[in-house]
Chain A
Amino acid sequence: MSFKEHIFKKSLWLFHYGGASCNNCDIEILDCLTPRYDVERFGIKLVGSIRHADVLLVTGSINKKDKERLLEIYKQAPKPILVVAMGACGCTGGIFAEGNTFAGPVDKIIPVDAYIPGCPPKPEAILAGIIKLVNRSNGK
């Protein structure tokens, strides 16, 4: 088992980056921690620093101000890092893509490994997306 596989097989630590969003996605992510979905039973948890993370979860459309911060966060992230663009805003910019300060979508700024569409995606969709991503990274 390679080092990378070994790490991802154990547990996933997520760092959540919130861009310019309505926060629905952010709340659904927090919902995953709550008893009904209880994502921690999979060993998945949210961490407060990008340096501890395996997955960078990006929500919200990215405005010009966010773009610099996102690039900075990505630079600080330990490689390998998996990037997940969440929600309609993260995937394509959603309804805000025509706004005058839109600087995204996420995959124009940093490489993205997975997309979880929805407005907002349900916690089940978030979990399914992350697990699919992990399985794919493990070569399943």
Chain B
Amino acid sequence: MTVAEIKQDIKAKWSGKIREMNLKREKRLFVTIDPDLLPEAAKYLFDDLKCRFITASALQSKRGFEIYYHFSVDVVGLIINVHVVLPESKPEVESLANISMATNWIEREMHELFGITFLHHPNMEKLIPEGNWEEGEYPLRKN
């Protein structure tokens, strides 16, 4: 599939739950979706598009907590960035670790650094050093 075809396909499959879609550069697609679509969207990307999970980047902004899930379609060199915005008061989203081992560690890391909750994560154990900062502290939070 070409980049244009992939974009069309995603638009069709996730319609109704897409907040924003932008082919920022020739091979960089950004799609903001409702957080509850995430597990279905991930399944589609893994199973249908055969994407490779690169990583996820969390950040905190005025809108709350945002996560960019980066997927790579290696055959065309496309990066699909799936973006969700989580409310600051309740930053939680469904875990993808039950679908793919590749997401296991990064979700634990995002939890430790930002305090985001990943629901139904199979082993949300500590991944970040004890002794390096206090319990209940989230080092990358801006407050």
Determine direct contact between A and B, CB below 8 Å.
yes
Task: List A residues at the B interface (Cβ < 8 Å).
Answer: 63-65, 68, 100-101
Q: How far is the CB of A64 from chain B (nearest CB, A)?
A: 5
Cross-chain contact of B139 among A63, A65, A68, A100 (Cβ < 8 A): A100
Task: List B residues at the A interface (Cβ < 8 Å).
Answer: 129-133, 139
Interface majority SS (helix, strand, loop, mixed), chain B: loop
Asked if A100 and B133 make an inter-chain contact with CB atoms under 8 angstroms apart, the answer reads: yes
CA distance A101 to B139 in the complex (A): 10
What chain B residues lie within 8 Å of A63 (beta carbons)? Answer: 129, 132
**14 additional A-B residue pairs with CB within 8 Å, beyond A64-B133, A101-B133:** A63-B129, A63-B132, A64-B129, A64-B131, A64-B132, A65-B129, A65-B130, A65-B131, A65-B132, A68-B131, A100-B133, A100-B139, A101-B129, A101-B132
What chain B residues lie within 8 Å of A65 (beta carbons)? Answer: 129-132
What chain B residues lie within 8 Å of A64 (beta carbons)? Answer: 129, 131-133
Chain A residue nearest in CB terms to B137: A100
Q: How far is the CB of B102 from chain A (nearest CB, A)?
A: 25
Q: How far is the CB of B115 from chain A (nearest CB, A)?
A: 16
What chain A residues lie within 8 Å of B132 (beta carbons)? Answer: 63-65, 101
Q: How far is the CB of B135 from chain A (nearest CB, A)?
A: 14
Q: How far is the CB of A73 from chain B (nearest CB, A)?
A: 16
What chain A residues lie within 8 Å of B139 (beta carbons)? Answer: 100
CA distance A15 to B75 in the complex (A): 48
What chain B residues lie within 8 Å of A100 (beta carbons)? Answer: 133, 139
What chain A residues lie within 8 Å of B133 (beta carbons)? Answer: 64, 100-101
A to B CB contacts below 8 Å, 16 in the list: A63-B129, A63-B132, A64-B129, A64-B131, A64-B132, A64-B133, A65-B129, A65-B130, A65-B131, A65-B132, A68-B131, A100-B133, A100-B139, A101-B129, A101-B132, A101-B133
